[in-house]
Amino acid sequence: MLTLLSNLFIKNSKEYGNPDVRRSYGMLSGVMGIVLNLLLFIGKYVAGVISGSIAITADAFNNLSDSGSSLITLLGFKMSGAKPDADHPFGHGRWEYLSGLAVSALIIVMGIELIISSVRKIISPAEVAFSKVAITILAISILVKLYMYLYNRRIAKKINSATMQATAADSLSDVVLTLVVLISVIVAGLTQLKIDGYCGFAVGLFILYSGIQSIKETLSPLLGRPADPELVKQIEEIVLSHGEILAIHDLIVHDYGPGHLIISLHGEVDGSKNIYVLHEAIDHIEKELDEKLGCLSCVHMDPVVVGDKKTNQMLTILSHEIQTIDSRITIHDFRIVGCGSYLNLIFDTVLPFDLKMNDDEARQTIDDLVKVLWPNANTVITIDKSYT
């Protein structure tokens, strides 16, 4: 059904990287979620009244909150499509992350409320009537929620959406929730065991855990996470396909929401080449990055010495020796100033975030290593971090 609706209402529905297409998929999913969850709420509420089950009634209100979550998803995708303005020059793409955060928060709230209601039912258990109507409604609900999980997960993968991933996780938790409720109703009806409250408690814990995991996933892009490895690979392939670029470093991807990326990097070039020719090549690279990745890019031209035997030899030795400190440490922008008895080795060092020494200690350790290799050399070291 979703495929049919997307073909009918979404123009160029296969262009998943297109911001307008992404937004349309998110809004379509939101509308479907509102409608389906309202229908499930009505059905389960009726089933809860008929059977007298607190678990079914709680499950019904869980679906009502899911309608609210779908509304938040709908509004989040709508607001994320707002054009950049003077107060928000990088656009409003992070509204999608904020809406995902709100969905996750609602999942946690529902988990806590269900746990509280279940504890009350455990303390004061009541009879649960065996109802074929209630069982049928719950079985249909499981199938509907399973369908919602599958299409939300499919959309999340296609448009790379944290919000849709959170919504899919919520739908899957609802499948488990309703399945447990169904089992508890059947067992209680057949055996007279008062397990309604215990089943509700177990489901509440599951929902709470799902919400916490979902909120972690949604917070990550808001706090700032490393760029997707596949995106980094694409950037490197595009930039290094231009012969003027010898190597790249200091790559940073600034994420202002899906479809709102800013890329900055340093591209090493032969310092002996014509600066105007190199600048034109940089312009072409930026244009290609923008067109192929749908981003805004800035490439810094970093001239390096090429073909100098002494520089290359010292760089090779130092690159090897510096990894005795930590194999992940790299250096770039290596150059030599001075000669004879006076040498300044100037370079940038990229340190991993979890290195067991601070920047000053690392700088001193590297300086000591250089002194062992070349006693007459001084160092000017700039500490960098890897953001990919």
Specify the residue for token string 């504890």: 119
**Residue 252 near residue 384, CB atoms below 8 Å:** no
**What is the pLDDT, as a whole number, of residue 84?**
77
**What is the pLDDT, as a whole number, of residue 9?**
63
SS3 per-residue string spanning 111-125 = HHHHHHHHHHHHHCC
Strands 342-351 and 261-270: unpaired
CA–CA dist 36, 311 (Å, integer): 67
Asked whether this chain's domains 2-223 and 309-385 adopt the same fold, the reply is no
- CA-closest candidate to residue 348, choices 249, 264, 253, 270: 249
SS3 per-residue string spanning 32-89 = HHHHHHHHHHHHHHHHHHHHCCHHHHHHHHHHHHHHHHHHHHHHHHHHHCCCCCCCCC
**Residue 178 near residue 77, CB atoms below 8 Å:** no
Q: What is 166-209 written as a DSSP string?
A: HHHHHHHHHHHHHHHHHHHHHHHHHH----HHHHHHHHHHHHHH
342-351 β-sheet, strand order: 330-339, 342-351, 377-385
In the chain, what are the domain boundaries? 2-223, 229-304, 309-385
Helix, strand, coil share (%) of the chain residues, nearest 5: 65, 15, 20
Interval 348-385: pLDDT, tens: 999 998 888 999 999 999 999 999 999 888 899 999 98
Is the model's pTM score more than 0.85?
no
Residue ranges in the chain whose pLDDT is less than 70: 1-3, 5, 7-9, 16-17, 126-130, 258-259, 339-341
**Span 229-304: which CATH code?**
3.30.70.1350
Specify the residue for token string 């709230």: 109
Phi first, then psi, for residue 259 (nearest 5°) are 85, 5
Q: Is 154 helix (H, G, I), strand (E, B) or coil?
A: helix
Q: C-alpha angle 342/346/350, rounded to 5°?
A: 150
**Span 309-385: which CATH code?**
3.30.70.1350
Specify the residue for token string 């600034």: 254
CA–CA dist 221, 257 (Å, integer): 8
Chain centroid to CA 46:
39
Q: Residue 137 is encoded by which pair of tokens?
A: 């409604």
CB neighbours of 170 closer than 8 A, spacing ≥ 6? 66, 69, 103, 107, 210, 214
Q: Residue 245 is encoded by which pair of tokens?
A: 């670029």
**What is the pLDDT, as a whole number, of residue 194?**
75
CB neighbours of 279 closer than 8 A, spacing ≥ 6? 301
- C-alpha distances (whole Å) from 155 to each of 69, 204, 228 are 16, 27, 18
Strand ranges (E), 274-363: 295-304, 330-339, 342-351
**Residue 180 near residue 203, CB atoms below 8 Å:** yes
Regarding the domain delimited by 2-223, which CATH topology (the fold level of the hierarchy) does it fall under?
A: Alpha-lytic protease prodomain-like (1.20.1510)
Specify the residue for token string 């995708």: 77
